[in-house]
Chain A
Amino acid sequence: MISDAFQKRRERQMLLLLLPALLPLLILVIYPALYSVYLSMTNEALTGVAAQRPRFVGAANYFRLFSDARFWNSLFVTFVFVVGSAIIGQFVLGFISAIALRGRKVGSQVFGAAILLPNAAPEVVAGFMWISMLAGGDHATLSKIMIALGLPWADWLQTFPLFMVTMVNTWRGIGTAMILLTAGLAAIPSEVYEAARMDGANARQTFMRITLPLMAPTIFLYMLISTVSTISVFGLVYALTRGGPGNATEVISVYIYNQSFTTFQLGYGAAGAVVALLISLLFGISYVRALRVQV
Chain B
Amino acid sequence: MAEVRSSRTVLTSITAYGTLIVISIFCLLPFVWMALASVDSNAQLFLKWPDSWTLDNYSRVFNKEDGYRWFGNSLFTVLSATILVIIISGLGGYALSRSRAWWKQPFLYAILLIRVLPSTALLVPLYKILLGFNNAEGAVVRPLFGSASRQVMQIFGFIDGYLGLIIVLTAGQLPLALWIMKVFFDGVPKDFEEAAILDGATLVQRIRRVLIPLALPGLAAAGLFTFMSAWGDFLLPLILLSSAELSTLPLGLFRAFLRVNEIDYGLLAAIAVVYLIPAVIAFSFARRFLVQTFSGGVKG
Mark A residues whose CB is within 8 Å of B. Answer: 11, 13-15, 17-18, 20-22, 24-25, 27-33, 35-36, 39, 44, 93, 96-97, 99-101, 105, 110-111, 114-126, 128-133, 135-136, 139-141, 143-144, 171-176, 179-180, 183, 203, 221-222, 225-226, 228-229, 231-232, 234-235, 238-239, 252-254, 256-257, 260-261, 266, 269-270, 272-274, 276-277, 280-281, 283-285, 287-288, 291, 293, 295
Q: Contacts A21-B91, A123-B234, A132-B47 known; A293 to B125 CB distance under 8 Å?
A: no
Interface string of B214-254 (1 = CB under 8 A from A): 00000000000000100111110001000000000010011
User: By the criterion CB–CB under 8 Å, are B109 and A293 in contact?
Assistant: yes
Q: Contacts A228-B297, A253-B120, A273-B121 known; A114 to B283 CB distance under 8 Å?
A: no
B209, CB-defined interface residue at 8 Å: no
User: By the criterion CB–CB under 8 Å, are A114 and B27 in contact?
Assistant: yes
Q: What distance in Å separates the Cβ of B288 from its nearest Cβ neighbour in chain A?
A: 10
The CA-CA distance from A20 to B122 in the complex, in Å, is 21
Q: For A287, list chain B residues within 8 Å (CB).
A: 112, 116, 297
Interface size on B, residues (CB 8 A): 98
Q: Contacts A35-B129, A128-B253, A261-B239 known; A273 to B92 CB distance under 8 Å?
A: no
User: By the criterion CB–CB under 8 Å, are A25 and B124 in contact?
Assistant: no
Q: For B111, list chain A residues within 8 Å (CB).
A: 25
Q: For A30, list chain B residues within 8 Å (CB).
A: 110, 114
Q: What distance in Å separates the Cβ of A253 from its nearest Cβ neighbour in chain B?
A: 4
User: By the criterion CB–CB under 8 Å, are A129 and B272 in contact?
Assistant: yes
Q: What distance in Å separates the Cβ of A242 from its nearest Cβ neighbour in chain B?
A: 10
Closest 10 CB pairs of A and B: A232-B118, A21-B92, A129-B30, A284-B116, A120-B283, A235-B234, A122-B232, A253-B120, A28-B171, A273-B121
User: By the criterion CB–CB under 8 Å, are B234 and A281 in contact?
Assistant: no
Q: Give the residue name and chain of the A residue nearest to B229 (CB).
A: A122
The CA-CA distance from A172 to B110 in the complex, in Å, is 28
Chain B, range 249-295, C-beta contacts under 8 Å to A: 250, 253-254, 257, 265, 268, 272, 275-276, 279-280, 282-284, 287, 290-291, 294-295
B113, CB-defined interface residue at 8 Å: yes
**A-B contacts, 16 listed (Cβ < 8 Å):** A15-B95, A17-B95, A21-B178, A39-B124, A100-B15, A120-B228, A120-B284, A121-B276, A125-B272, A128-B34, A131-B45, A132-B30, A171-B27, A176-B294, A225-B297, A287-B297
Chain B, range 94-109, C-beta contacts under 8 Å to A: 94-96, 98-101, 103-105, 107-109
B139, CB-defined interface residue at 8 Å: no
Q: Give the residue name and chain of the A residue nearest to B25 (CB).
A: A114
Q: For A176, list chain B residues within 8 Å (CB).
A: 290, 294, 299-300
B23, CB-defined interface residue at 8 Å: yes
B142, CB-defined interface residue at 8 Å: no
Excluding A122-B279, A273-B121, 16 further A-B contacts by CB distance (< 8 Å) are A11-B101, A15-B101, A21-B92, A24-B174, A28-B126, A33-B121, A132-B47, A133-B29, A232-B119, A234-B120, A234-B235, A253-B118, A254-B120, A277-B122, A283-B116, A293-B112
